[in-house]
Each structure stands twice: as structure tokens, then as C-alpha cells.
Structure 1
Amino acid sequence: MRVNVTENKAMSEVTIYHNPDCGTSRNTLAMIRNAGIEPVVIEYLHNPPSREKLVELIAQAGLSVREALREKGTPYAELQLDNPALTDAQLLDAMMAHPVLINRPFVATSLGVRLCRPSEVVLEILPGAQHGAFTKEDGEVVIDTEGKRVRSGN
């Protein structure tokens, strides 16, 4: 059996900043695995990225710091992070102090970085094709039995 070194290298370069309690994050991880890729899984609530890494992920995803903030189920309101006068540095300080404020899941591959909300955004940056059907936890079919993307509303 011959192993494709380039393909294996690409597969090893997939990293997901994951929260196993989040359905979107679980669906994203499952789609990565459905492409035959076993990613590096970083449970960011227990092992948050460094400030520098977080800034890099946000920038590479093409987001503002504010767009990378999670509001639901976080201390966002009590910390008054909706205040437009807060600087990026202040928002990052809050994210570092409370990693739950980091929206999820961020996925980094050799093809780019995305905040995968909705989870199927991950398909834009996976270095491998889907290996079969995929249905999200809520029953939404994303990939058909031939491994092709099913678009809503078609």
C-alpha cells in the first residue's frame, strides 16, 4: 500500500478549537472526520489559545475581534461587552479571562481558517472530500450518499 505523503501532511494540519458541549462544534468535528481526517482537537475551554494565537485565528478568518465574541451562555452581558467604546485589546482581555467568550468552533487547515458557524462552513477549507452521507445532529442533511453537498432551499 502506498501512502500519499502530501495528503497525510494536509490531514495532520487540521486543527479544531472545539467545545464538546456545543452541537455546532460536534457537527463540525464530525464533518472533518467524514472527510477521513483526524484533526488536532483542542478543547479551548480547558486549553485556550494564547492571545497571539487567538489574534492570528481571528485575522486569518477575516473577522473583527467583536465578531469572534460569543454572547449566548457567557458573561458577555454582565461584562457589558456590547459597549462600542471597548477596544479590541479590551475585548481580547475579556476573551482571555473568560475563554467561553471565544466563539466556536474555529478550524484551521492548510486552506485557511474559518469560524464554522454554521458547521458546514468547514467544507470550504477541508483538504479532503466527504466520504459519504452526513446528517447534522438536528436531522439536516448536509452531504448526500455520493459525498456531494446538499444545499438548503434547492
Structure 2
Amino acid sequence: MGTERPASTDAGRDGMEIWHNPRCSKSRAAKAALDEAGVKYTERRYLDEPPTAQELDSVLTRLGLEPWDVARLSEPVAKELGLKNLEHDRARWIEVMAAHPVLIQRPIVMTGGSAIVARDSESVQRALDSQ
């Protein structure tokens, strides 16, 4: 059902979109659940098509979270950058995460005006229910 598409500043506002990393088992499981549900969605391989700082800021607002809430602090680049000790300055964290998209928790599913970090089946179901 899903289709790949070029990066967009809409970040799923007009339909369902998944920020997907096919190498991640949780991301693959979420995508499979969307396929099984038969919903139309757009797949964005965010490591190949990184979000801009503006897109990331918009998605974080829709998630109701701060960038440090969805940062993958165990990634080697996070350790290299000293991310755990970086001051909680939203703009700075967004800048760092946009420059290093591997730091973004995955998958993120967006529907209409909301977004969910869909790392388990319950979260995926909430995304499906909210469309």
C-alpha cells in the first residue's frame, strides 16, 4: 500500500505518513501493520531523505514532545557529539538531529495533525484509530 515519495514540508498533514528505517525491526513491524490494515500512506525513508529542521520542529510539535524525548542517545554519533550533556535548547537539538537523522527515534507515524512514535503495536493502533 505504501509509496515512497520525495521529501515534503507537509510531513503527513494531508494523509498518513511513516518515517521509516527498513533496517529497524520496530519500523518494519509498524509498516507491516499499516500494510495489513490496508491503509494508504506515504513512506519516507528519513535516513535517505532527512527532514529539514522546520519539518522536524513541526513533527515534534505534533508529537507534543521535545527533541531530547525522541533522540536515540545510544547511537555512536550521539556519544561523539556529547548529546547526553547538551543543554536542552530546542533549536540546537533540532539542528543536530536534522544534521544526523539517525538520532531520530523511529518509526514516526503521522495522520492529519497528529503524530505518534509507533514503536509497539498499541502505538500503531492509536495511529490507525486517529486517521
TM-score by length of 2: 0.80
Q: Whole-Å Cα distance in 1 between the matches of residues 76 and 16 of structure 2?
A: 27
Counterpart of 2:46 (choices 23, 44, 47) is: 44
Q: Whole-Å Cα distance in 2 between the matches of residues 89 and 60 of structure 1?
A: 16
- 1:79 and 2:81 aligned: yes
Greater RCO, 1 or 2 (C-alpha within 8 Å, sep 6+)? 2
1:123-152 Cα offsets, whole Å, 9 max, x none, are 112159xxxxxxxxxxxxxxxxxxxxxxxx
The residue that corresponds to 1:26 in the other structure is 28
Do 1:107 and 1:116's aligned partners in 2 also have CA atoms closer than 8 Å? yes
Deviation of 1:111 (Å)? 6.6
Do 1:19 and 1:104's aligned partners in 2 also have CA atoms closer than 8 Å? yes
Do 2:68 and 2:88's aligned partners in 1 also have CA atoms closer than 8 Å? no
- SS of residue matched to 2:115: strand
Q: What is the letter of the counterpart of residue 97 of structure 2?
A: M
- SS of residue matched to 1:17: strand
Give % identity. Answer: 33
1:60-117 Cα offsets, whole Å, 9 max, x none, are 1111111121123341111001115241122112111111011111110137210112
- 1:92 and 2:78 aligned: no
The residue that corresponds to 1:139 in the other structure is none
Deviation of 1:120 (Å)? 3.2
The residue that corresponds to 1:105 in the other structure is 107
Gaps of 5+ in 1: 1-11, 129-154
* Mapping 1:141-152, distance limit 5 Å: none
Q: Whole-Å Cα distance in 1 between the matches of residues 76 and 124 of structure 2?
A: 24
Do 1:110 and 1:127's aligned partners in 2 also have CA atoms closer than 8 Å? no
Do 1:16 and 1:105's aligned partners in 2 also have CA atoms closer than 8 Å? yes
Larger radius of gyration: 1
Q: What RMSD in Å do the two structures reach over aligned CA positions?
A: 2.1
Q: Whole-Å Cα distance in 2 between the matches of residues 53 and 92 of structure 1?
A: 10
